[in-house]
Amino acid sequence: MIIKKFQAETEAEAIIKAKDEMGSSAVVLNIKTIKHRGISRLFKKNYVEVTAAIEEPQHVTAPIPQLPKINVAVDNAYKSSGSYAMEPSANVIEEKLNSLQTMLENRMKSAEYTEKEEINKDVQESADESREENTNLKFIKLIYNQLIDNEVDEKYVNQIIGEIQTSLKKESTVDSILAAVYQKIILKIGQPKSIEMEEGKRKLVFFLGPTGVGKTTTIAKLASYFKLEKKLKVALITSDTFRIAAVEQLRTYAGILDVPLQVIYTIEEFNQAVETYKDYDLVLVDTAGRSHKNNEQCNEITHLVNDSRVDDNTVKEVYLVLSAATKYKDLIKINEAFNQVKNYNIIFTKLDETSCLGNILNMKLNTGVNISYVTSGQVVPDDISLLDPQKIARSLLGSNE
């Protein structure tokens, strides 16, 4: 696969550049806006960078080669799964071709055909086509098994494979198949949702989720970022009075960052705290961790989020914090427990505690909500970033990068 980057003032111009140089079959893998750094950012406009790819002009009829950006373990996992046993063997293909040739020879005798060279050509073309289709089928099944191994739900794997198969050509190479799946995963994950400030507005941001997923540490990381990097006035509120350690942990972070913290017990106290912080740009709210099996406790959190009072200059945002290491079935139940909350986003924590990131794609497709931040450690404020769809797609396809 040939991959190149193109830069221009707008997305459309960059894509046109890519198509002009690489041809109409070029696939856009990534689009991002580049900001100038340093003092030059005051005088220069942002520009757009498009990453495009195109298959190399080669014809694959041999066994599947070592693939770029896919771990050798993918092939081993495919072989160990027993899927090769489901494929027609070389002997079976040979038998089919021999049968085809025998049939054509008999037909030639009965119809007194004399164009033997033409018949042999048809047989050879049929053999070549069978090899191509067989190679593509093997590679698609290899990708299928790789996604399953990364705990992507089988329903969504079938959906992705089905969508790319309808657009594949018989002469597609393994690189073009890989590029199609890679791009499809990126499109399904979508762009991450970040906390963005609106001019003349302040933001009240709630963090919900079960116990032990890392809500408090995530809040500390975001508070540090917006206070130190964005120079915003940040305040903290916590309703997690069930765990003394949680309050003390957040109080410690508040002291280090020099931001105010208020502990509340009722929705009335919460409304008063929100009024107290009316001059702050960003108010982050830590809620108590609740079991998805306790409806009453989950309803208390829903009541706090939905029924708390805010003025016209305040925008509410809600983030459901989930652990990437939690089983998919449990993630669905947790989401259902909080689904009465309006317009929420998802943050995934503990990416460093699992080797399978399929749940990120699963929850995106199951809920349809935006995935925003991901965390991969306990270090404040470093171990947090916006979700990178390209990185997740590479991981799901077996890349070590």
Q: Kindly list the domain boundaries of the chain, sorted by start residue.
A: 2-54, 72-189, 202-396
Question: How many whole angstroms separate alpha carbon 276 and alpha carbon 290?
Answer: 27
> What pLDDT score was predicted for residue 102?
55
283 - beta bridge partners? 204, 235
pLDDT tens series, the chain, 401 aa? 677 888 988 888 888 888 888 887 777 777 888 876 655 555 567 888 888 777 655 444 434 333 344 444 334 433 433 333 333 444 544 454 455 445 545 555 555 445 445 545 544 444 455 555 567 788 888 899 999 999 999 999 999 999 888 777 665 777 888 889 999 999 999 999 999 998 889 999 999 988 889 899 999 999 999 999 999 999 999 987 666 677 888 889 899 999 999 998 888 999 999 999 999 999 999 987 655 555 655 667 777 887 788 888 999 999 999 999 999 999 999 998 887 787 899 999 999 999 899 999 999 999 999 999 999 988 887 889 999 999 999 999 986 55
> What pLDDT score was predicted for residue 83?
35
> What pLDDT score was predicted for residue 338?
81
203 - beta bridge partners? 282, 315
Q: Position 243: which residue type?
A: R
> What pLDDT score was predicted for residue 4?
83
Question: How many whole angstroms separate alpha carbon 332 and alpha carbon 7?
Answer: 41
- The token pair at 36 is 């100038």
Pairing of strands 314-323, 234-238: unpaired
- The token pair at 123 is 């047989």
> What pLDDT score was predicted for residue 92?
46
The CATH number of 202-396 is 3.40.50.300
Sheet holding 202-208, edge to edge: 261-263, 234-238, 282-286, 202-208, 314-323, 344-349, 371-375, 384-386
* Strand spans (E) along 38-122: 47-54
Question: How many whole angstroms separate alpha carbon 251 and alpha carbon 329?
Answer: 34
Question: How many whole angstroms separate alpha carbon 315 and alpha carbon 281?
Answer: 11
CB atoms within 10 A of CB 151: 18
